[in-house]
Structure formats: structure tokens, C-alpha cells
DNA sequence: TGAAAATTGTCACAGATTGTAACATCAATC
DNA sequence: GATTGATGTTACAATCTGTGACAATTTTCA
């Protein structure tokens, strides 16, 4: 029902049956938000899944529950869900809340400090400016990155400490269903490393996690006012 | 009743009758959380047990009490319990609170704004930084660990004094349903020891518990701010 | 448009990491 | 102290990753 409704509304929906399905979808598709029913098959608990997702990302999550249980609601929100909707609900209401969550989420840091709207990312002295698509080294010189290199660095630097699979990087930096061998990412990472971990800055900012993918391990220093 | 319920929920439960049973279980099993009834047999006081556990660890504890007594509740929480549930309770509620406590407990300081809020782990002069995935020796030199070695050390160092079975380490450092002989862990531990217990630091930080698994015996010094 | 330049994809090989297994040690038990 | 079983260690094989060379593709610009 939800699937049909949201597809009619123009969304692209990945409907899955259980926790494993969710993990797969998160890996495979470029997911913007998760709607999660508390009562799942497969013996997995929806609350646990919320926590699991939260440990590695700030993916927006809306919990749907079979009943309006105060404890469930509170625990769910404490667990990190962004909203909680009890059945029965109106489809229109779900849509409204979804918009609300997405808005809050994307509206993340409008960051109007000093009358400026910078949302640059800083790490270990580096400065990454998504708007201008520029990378500036600690000593102030600009490092030229190609489009692909920049996209990968941007995605990863936004989430330090989070491990990205090659597939996921593929999805996030290119369109949804891009087909190419994963090793393309390896090559890009290699070129990227050569540029940002060059002689002067021997720190390893991108580490590889064997069998999984890559992590950005820079020291993000947000909100430089 | 609780045992059966939680086992149905997929938890592994060690049910014991008294304080001594609890101590044994804490030693023997890899305990994640303690549910403690205030009214115990064996003449031991539940409150005392809370304090006893608290003096040596930050093990999460939920107290169950036969009555909803404000004094009991306050004293219990002051003693260091993480939550307090009065009878009669719904099993679902206990589960929810348990989730909540576990989450709070595992919760990494969510992304520490202002670049502050390191959650590095220190032990015996060593410094383990999960975000940067770096291990720094007491004398300041960095020790290069592989992904697998780092994961094992991280899991164990987070819970000094806790015994991890090989299976559990397997689960915690790789996916859930990973299939490989347990001896893989032995090999990894061996390599890890060679790196962190090398000539300069003869202290044995990882001890083996025959028939069970391994314990991290470093002296954790938390949260140097 | 067409050539030059830049970027990306592909591949091969080197190197690193991990799984496996054999054997050496060690601990517990009788 | 001999036996039995568990753990430590190591070598080697299997797998995964890093990187350079070059081809294919896209972009730039005359």
C-alpha cells in the first residue's frame, strides 16, 4: 500500500521484507530515507535496526508501529529514529511527516554564521568546499581534483568514520544503477590518495577496510565560525 | 518468564539465583547487561550488588523491584543502576528499556561537534583512536594494525576485563553469519600480540582464558578530555 | 567539427592481509 | 609425569588491495 502510494507520488521505493533486505537495499540503492515497521519478520527487531543504521550513518528513519505505545515511541526516538507514526495512519499523514523529516534533514546546517552560508568541510587543516568544488591544502595551496575524485572525497569526508562499500560509493557518486567493476573505485581512491597524502602530508586520511570498502579517517572539525 | 521471553527475542540469557551466581556469570560469560531483582535469595542485597558491580565496571544494570517505591528507585539509580522497573511490568516494556539502556551505553558521543569529544581509548599509555583507526604506542610512535587486528583490539579494549569467546569476537568484528574456523581468531590474536607486546612493552595486554576465549587486561583510563 | 587534453575504465602484476593447517607448547586431569 | 585437549606460532596458500600503464571516453577549445 505504502509502496504504491509513494510511487504514485513520484518516489522511487525499495520495499524489502526484513533487516537483511534493508541492509542490502542500503548498500545497493541510493536511499534517502527509511520507513521502518517495528514488527518485522525474520526475527529482527525494528528498534535494533534503527540502532544499527544509526551507528554508521545519519540516514533519516521514520518508524511505523502497530500500536501507539508510549514506551515504543520513546524508545524508538531515543534510539535515533526521526519520527514515529502509529497505526492506523493516513497515507497523507505519512507523506507529510516524510516531507518534514527530509526537510529537517537536508536543511541540516544552513550554517548562517557571520552572515555567511559556508558549508565547507574541514579536516586536519584541509578545507573542502562543496559549492566551489575546491580542495585547499593546510598550507593554503589549492589541490586540483577531478570530478570523480572530488565526489568520492566529498561523500566520505561528510561521514568520517563510516565505512563505505565500493558499491555504495558507486551509487552515491554516480547515478543509481551505474554498472562498472568495483575496481574503478580502487583506482579513483588510489589517485585521490596520491594527491592528498602526498609527501607533505603523510597522514593517511582514507583507510581501507579489507573485504568491505573504505573509511575516511580525517579529523573533521565542524563549524569553524 | 524473563529468561524465556528474552531467549525468544534472540538473546542469550544467563539466569542465576544470587550474587555469587552473578559474579560467576560475569566472569564466565560475555555479559552485555545485568537485570537485577532487588529482592534476592542468599541474603545479599541487590543495592549492594549494584554498587559492587559499579566499582569495577560500567556494565549496564537494570533493577527490577517488587514495588514501585520512590526511595528504592532513587537509591537504586544513585547507586549506579541505569534504569529501574517496578512490578508488575510488561515484558515488552522491559525489552524496550533494555534496548534503550544498551543504546545509551554503546552510544558513541554522537559526532562531537566542535571537534571536541574524542572517544579515544587509553590503556597503559597506549592510545586507540577508533575514528582514525590508529594505535599509538606509549612512546608516541604509531603502530600499524591491519583491519582485522584493529577490530579485535577495539572490541576488546572497549571492555577490559570482559571475556570474549572466539565466536563472539567473530560476530563482533565481522558480519553476523560469518563462517570460519575459530582458530582464525587465535591467529589474529597472535599477530596482534606480536605487535603490541613487542620487546619494548612486555606487558601482556591480552590474556587467554582456557576453554573460553580472550580477555583484554589493559588498564583503561577513560575519557581524557 | 576535429584535434588535443583531461579524465576515467581496464588490466596486470606486486604487495598486503587473512584463512588454513601443521606442529610446538602449555595446562589440566588422572 | 603421561595423557589429553587447548592454545601459540608459523609457513604457506588464497584472497583482496594498490598502483602503474595504457586504452577508451569525455571534455575543452580552436
pLDDT tens digits, A58-113: 678 888 877 666 666 666 666 667 777 777 777 777 877 777 667 655 544 333 33
Burial class (CB in 10 A: 0-12, 13-18, 19+), A223: middle
Q: Does A78 touch chain B (CB under 8 A)?
A: yes
Which of B114, B132, B147 has its CB closest to that of A210?
A: B147
pLDDT given at position A112 = 30
CA distances from A225 to A54, A105, B152 (A): 27, 21, 38
* CB < 8 Å to A214, chain B: none
Distance CA B1, CA B8 (A): 11
Q: Quick one: pLDDT at residue A116?
A: 37
- Confidence tier at B191 by pLDDT (50, 70, 90): very high
Query: What is d(CA A14, CA A3) in angstroms, rounded to the nearest whole number?
Result: 8
**pLDDT for the residue numbered A133:** 84
Secondary structure E strands in A13-140: 34-37, 61-65, 83-86, 121-123, 126-129, 134-136
- % of chain A residues with pLDDT over 90: 2
Confidence of residue B115 (pLDDT cuts 50, 70, 90): very low
pLDDT band for position B6 (50/70/90)? Answer: confident
Q: Nearest C-alpha of chain A: how many angstroms from B12?
A: 14
- For chain A, report the end-to-end CA distance as a whole number of angstroms: 46
Chain B residues closer than 8 Å to A160 by CB: 131
Distance (Å, whole) CA A137 – CA A124: 9
Averaged over A18-40, what is the pLDDT?
A: 77
The answer to whether the CB atoms of A210 and B146 lie below 8 A apart is: yes
Here the cell at position B173 is 568484528
d(CA A92, CA A1): 12
- Chain B contact for A67 (CB, 8 A cutoff): no
Which protein residue's Cα is closest to nucleotide C11 at C1'?
A183
**Owner of C-alpha cell 544499527:** A52
CB-based contact, B140 to chain A, within 8 Å = no
**What pLDDT band is residue B118 in, cutting at 50, 70 and 90?**
low
Can you tell me the mean pLDDT for B4-13? 73
Comparing alpha-carbon positions, the chain B residue that sits nearest to A220 is: B115
> Under a CB-based contact definition with an 8 Å cutoff, are residues B167 and B12 in contact?
no
Q: How far is B114 from chain A (nearest CA, A)?
A: 6
Kindly state the average pLDDT of the residues A184-192.
Answer: 90
pLDDT in tens, A111-141: 333 333 357 888 888 888 887 788 888 777 8
Environment class of B158 (CB within 10 Å of its CB; exposed 0-12, middle 13-18, buried 19+): middle
pLDDT at B177 over 60: no
Instruction: In whole angstroms, give the CA distance from residue A28 to residue A167.
Output: 7
Torsion of Cα atoms, B143 then B149 then B150 then B152, to 10°: -140
Tell me the pLDDT of chain B averaged across its residues.
75
Query: Against a cut of 0.85, is the pTM above it?
Result: no
> What is the chain A residue with the closest CA to B132?
A217
| Mean predicted lDDT score pLDDT of chain A | 74
Chain B residues with CB inside 8 Å of A207's CB?
A: 133, 147
Question: Does the structure show a pLDDT above 80 at A186?
Answer: yes
User: Is residue B137 within 8 Å of residue B183, measured between CB atoms?
Assistant: no
- Averaged pLDDT for residues A152-159: 86
| Per-residue flag: A208 CB under 7 A of strand D | yes
| CA B175 to C1' C27, whole Å | 33
B142 touches chain A (CB under 8 A): no
Average pLDDT, integer, range B174-191? 78
pLDDT at B110: 29
d(C-alpha B130, C-alpha B118), whole Å? 9
Give the cell for residue A206.
582514507
Rounded mean pLDDT, B18-37: 78
Predicted pLDDT at A110: 32
Extended beta strands in A96-190, E state: 121-123, 126-129, 134-136, 142-143, 163-165
Question: How do residues B44-101 score in pLDDT, each as one tens digit?
Answer: 677 778 877 876 666 788 888 776 666 666 666 767 777 778 777 777 778 877 877 7
CA separation for the pair B59, A187 (Å, rounded): 44
B46 or A152, higher pLDDT = A152
User: Percent of chain A having pLDDT more than 70?
Assistant: 71
Select the residue of A75, A211, A221 nearest B96 (Cβ to Cβ): A75
Greater confidence (A73 vs B111) lies with A73
- pLDDT at position A223 over 60: no
pLDDT at B37 over 50: yes
Name all domains of chain B by residue range, CATH numbers in brackets. 2-106 (3.40.50.2300), 121-216 (1.10.10.10)
In whole angstroms, what is the distance from residue B147 CA to residue B134 CA?
10
Q: How far apart are the first and last CA of chain B?
A: 43
pLDDT of residue B199: 61
Evaluate whether B178 touches B167 at the Cβ level (below 8 Å). no
Q: What pLDDT is attached to residue A148?
A: 86
**Nearest residue to nucleotide D15 when comparing alpha carbons to its C1'?**
A211
Work out if A183's Cβ lies within 7 angstroms of strand D. Answer: yes
Strand D contact with A194 (CB < 7 A): yes
Residue range A4-31: average pLDDT? 76
Amino acid at each position: 500500500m505504502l509502496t504504491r502510494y509513494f510511487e504514485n507520488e513520484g518516489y522511487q521505493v525499495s520495499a524489502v521484507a526484513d533487516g537483511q533486505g534493508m541492509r542490502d537495499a542500503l548498500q545497493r540503492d541510493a536511499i534517502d530515507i527509511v520507513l521502518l515497521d517495528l514488527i518485522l519478520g525474520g526475527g529482527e527487531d525494528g528498534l535494533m535496526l534503527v540502532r544499527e543504521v544509526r551507528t554508521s550513518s545519519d540516514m533519516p528513519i521514520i518508524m511505523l508501529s502497530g500500536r501507539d505505545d508510549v514506551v515504543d515511541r520513546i524508545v524508538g526516538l531515543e534510539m535515533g529514529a526521526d519520527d514515529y507514526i502509529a497505526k492506523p495512519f493516513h497515507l497523507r499523514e505519512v507523506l507529510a511527516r516524510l516531507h518534514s523529516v527530509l526537510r529537517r534533514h537536508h536543511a541540516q546546517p544552513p550554517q548562517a554564521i557571520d552572515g555567511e552560508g559556508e558549508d565547507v568541510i574541514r579536516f586536519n587543516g584541509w578545507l573542502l568546499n562543496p559549492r566551489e568544488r575546491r580542495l585547499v591544502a593546510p598550507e593554503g595551496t589549492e589541490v586540483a581534483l577531478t570530478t570523480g575524485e572530488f565526489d568520492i572525497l566529498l561523500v566520505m569526508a561528510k561521514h568520517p568514520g563510516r565505512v563505505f562499500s565500493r558499491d555504495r560509493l558507486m551509487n552515491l557518486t554516480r547515478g543509481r544503477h551505474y554498472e562498472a567493476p568495483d575496481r574503478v573505485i580502487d583506482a579513483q581512491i588510489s589517485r585521490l590518495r596520491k594527491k592528498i597524502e602526498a609527501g607533505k602530508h603523510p597522514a593517511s586520511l582514507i583507510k581501507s577496510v579489507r573485504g568491505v570498502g573504505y573509511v575516511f579517517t580525517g579529523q573533521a572539525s565542524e563549524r569553524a565560525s
